[in-house]
Every structure is written in C-alpha cells, then in structure tokens.
Structure 1
C-alpha cells in the first residue's frame, strides 16, 4: 500500500490522491512512466517527480523515518506491508495503572515468528537495546498505556512508526478492549489463559514475587497471547483499511 500512497507528498491531499488513482496513476512507478498523460500544474508535476524519487530511495534504504515525517499520523498504517519484517508487536504487564507508583513487570515482543520476554529482575534492562532494531511498533492502546510507561521507565523516545490498533480498529467500527475485539473476530486464546484479565496479570506477578514460579509461567503465557494476537489484528485491520479505499471501483486494479 505504501507505493500506492501519495498523501506524503507536499500539496497532495486525499482528493488529489484519489484523482491520481482514478486516472490510472496507482503507484509511484505509474506516475514516473505516465505523468505526461495527466494534466496537473507544472509545479505539482515537479513536486511529484521529486518526492516520488525520494520515496523510492527511502524505501530502498529502509528509511521509515522519511515516511513517518511526511505521512499524516492516521495513515501510518500504510507502511506496514513494506516494513512487516521489521515490525515488533508489543505488550506490557504492570503492577497497576499508575506510572508513578506502579512498574512494568513483563514486556512481550513478537517479531512475527518468535516471542521475547523482558522480565523485571531478570533481563528487563535488555529491552531498550532490543527494540532499536525495529522500524514499526504495533500495540493495542499503546498511545495511552504501553509507550508512556516504557518512556517513563527507560527514559526512551520511540523514533519508530507506532501503530495503535485501538485507534485503527475504531475507524473500522470495532470498539472496546483487546479481548472484546478478539472475541468479535473469533480469535480464541489457549484454555489456560482464556479467562484471565489484566487484573489477574497483576495478581500472578504478586504470586511470583511471593515465591510461586508457576505464576510467572502463566503470566508469560497470558502475555504471549496478547502479542501474538496483535499480529492477526494488524493483518485484519490492514486488509480492511485497503478495502475501505474502494480500489475495486477503479479502472486499473493492479495494486502493489
């Protein structure tokens, strides 16, 4: 979808982007090959040519910061497909909701293939280094919860593109917490954690701190379901957002 996008180019809004699509300029290469076939002001042609070349170079180099700077925040989901292999699905567990008195107990990271856990008192300090290799971070309600907690804990700033699925799914008509959305979409959790809640996660950590190692294993299993399911939700939301652009109504349907 990123190579079908023109919204990051100065002077191009949603109406102009759709006008380009309707005139069979569906991707950057289409414009470079067929720009002489469409009527636009000379200045806009110059801007399009320049920024499309910048965009191709940025994509080739994996420079996601170029797109983060120029794309409207609500359209950052468009980078996902091209940067999927450099995406981290992230979820944290804490001792409570207050960043002043409470602290992070577990950070789960899923790269699409394997899950890493960073655990308070064990390897939590390794998280700051581990997250740096990713270009995209996907969370659920991360704008309000996960990232502020992590920023306060590690003194980090996150230069990556952040896709908060709560915001994206809300645009598609899905409201509520993560587990409510999972249920609506028919996503099932493994039996041993399917009835656990965020409050249970707090209690599991307290049990672990009181000397119960099995409680930590159950907490990690709970967090694993969170981060793994984020990938399914991201794929679902991405496909639905592409569908919402009504490409099927356009003459040329060969999308990147």
Structure 2
C-alpha cells in the first residue's frame, strides 16, 4: 500500500469511511469523486489530495509522517522505501546516560554500513550515515536506538519520519523480541541467536584484544539490520490484507 491509496489522513475520515471508499473501487486518489461521500467530507478529501499530490511529487516524507495517524505510519514504507534507512545499534547497557554505543549498522539501498566505537563511530560519520534517509526503519528504535544516539552524539534523528516495526507487529499480535517475531513470520537467520547480554560480553572481549569477538558482534548487528527489510515487507502485506476489503485491488 502506498500513500496514494489512503484517505485516512483527512479530517472526518476514519477506518469505516476509508473502507467504504475502497469497497466502491476508489482505491487511489485519482479515482476519487466528491459524490462518493458527503459534501463536507468530499471537499476535505479533494483539498487533501491537492496538497498531498504536490508534496508527493516533491518527495516530502515529512508531510506524510505529520498527516498520517501514528498507527498508520506503516503506509509510508512502499512510497519512500528507496531512501528508507534500516538501522540498529549495540550498546554496553540499557541506560543512555550511563552506557555507550558500541556499533551502529545501517542499510540504505543495497549497502550496509557499520560504524564501530573507537574506529569510525563519531558525530560526523553518523550525520553522513543518516543524511539521505527519507524514512527511518527500526525495531523498538523510538524508545531505544534514537534516544541512545541522541544522548551520546551530536546528532538529531527525532524529526525524521520513523517507522518503528514494534508497533505494527503488536497490531498483528506479533509480540516479543525481534528474533522471536522473525521466527514466527518465517525469516531465517544465518547464524545462531545472540542475546543482548552476549553482545555486551563480545564487546568486552574485543576490548581485551579479541578481534574475532568484534567480528561476531558486527555480523550480529548487521544481520539485525538486513532482516528489517523483509520483516517490513511481510508486516505491511499482513496489515494491508487486514484493512483492505477482499473485493478491492490497489493500483
């Protein structure tokens, strides 16, 4: 589902009205006609489509992140996936005021980059890493990854549109950690699971001179990131099926 298939950002349009439009075959902005709804709602929808079409041509993901309800942010992904940045961090603990970031991995397009504390993980590198992102995609990143990075580095991510997969997963009754949900949804991993505690231990082993421990930690961090894209795709497919009438076909 793309943003052009959605009417729910419009004032006065809830799930019921949007579904009724879809059932009438109005599954795209270009298919809308005012008589499909009441006069006031029709004017609001037309006004929204005019504004949103301009912002879509401009590639303005910020506009849609503001306009769409928080529970519907998943609908931004297909539209802005070309510049979606999937990312994940590893740390020495859970408190951003007391603990440190050890590695940051981010995937944009076909390239995954990993920054390591003491090597190339610094303010400028982080800004460069996220500079081209229209949409951030994480799992529990709103509560953990973003606050951790902003507390430890001179970087601002809170204003970038952010799809935190933990919340749409909950909507689908997919609960637990990232690895648990991957297993439930059918996404395989190439290496054995590593717990958060083991990730911290690997970092401390590296600090004591074990380079292979760092290699393992980086591999684990990168696999977390690289699995976020297929997870996003499958979650979106399930959510689309859950909201779209069986008779409706998107274009």
TM-score relative to the length of structure 1: 0.91
Shift of 1:90: 0.8
- Measured after TM superposition, the shift of residue 148 of structure 1 is 1.2
Decide whether the 8 Å contact of 2:92 with 2:102 is kept in 1: yes
Structure 2 length-normalised TM: 0.93
| Cα separation, 1, equivalents of 2:109 and 2:176 | 24
Q: Is the 8 A contact 1:128 1:154 kept in 2?
A: no
| Counterpart residue number, 1:186 | 186
Q: Give unmatched runs, 5+ long, in structure 2.
A: none
* Paired positions, count: 247
**Counterparts of 2:34 and 2:180, CA distance in 1:** 50
Partner residue, 2:71: 74
> Which runs of structure 2 are paired with 1:75-224 in the superposition (5 Å)?
75-125=72-122, 126-155=125-154, 156-191=156-191, 194-224=192-222
Deviation at 1:38, TM superposition (A): 2.5
Change (3 A) 1:114 1:39: closer
SS at structure 1 position matched to 2:90: strand
Distance in 2, matches of 1:47 and 1:181, equals 39
Q: Secondary structure at the match of 1:99?
A: coil
Deviations 1:218-246 (A, max 9, x none): 11101111001111110110110000013
Q: Distance in 2 between matches of 1:183 and 1:195?
A: 11
Shift in Å, 1:129:
2.6
Residue aligned with 2:227, SS:
helix
Superposed displacement of residue 46, structure 1: 2.3
1:37-70 Cα distance to aligned partner (Å, 9 max, x none): 52521x3322222210111111111001111111
Shift of 1:112: 4.1
Counterpart of 2:28?
27
Indicate conservation of the 8 Å contact 1:5/1:17, yes or no: yes
Contact kept in structure 2, 1:112 and 1:231, CA below 8 Å: no
SS at match of 2:9: coil
Unaligned runs of at least 5 residues, structure 1: none
Cα distance in 2, alignment partners of residues 167 and 44 from structure 1: 29
Residue 81 of structure 1: how far off its partner (Å):
0.3
CA contact (8 A) 2:106 2:129 kept: no
Could you report, residue by residue, the CA deviation over 1:76-118 in whole angstroms, capped at 9, with x for unpaired residues? Answer: 1001001111101111000011112101000110124121011
- 1:174–1:118 CA distance, 2 compared to 1 (3 A): same
- 8 A Cα contact 1:112 1:228, kept in partner: no
RMSD (Å) for aligned C-alpha atoms: 1.5
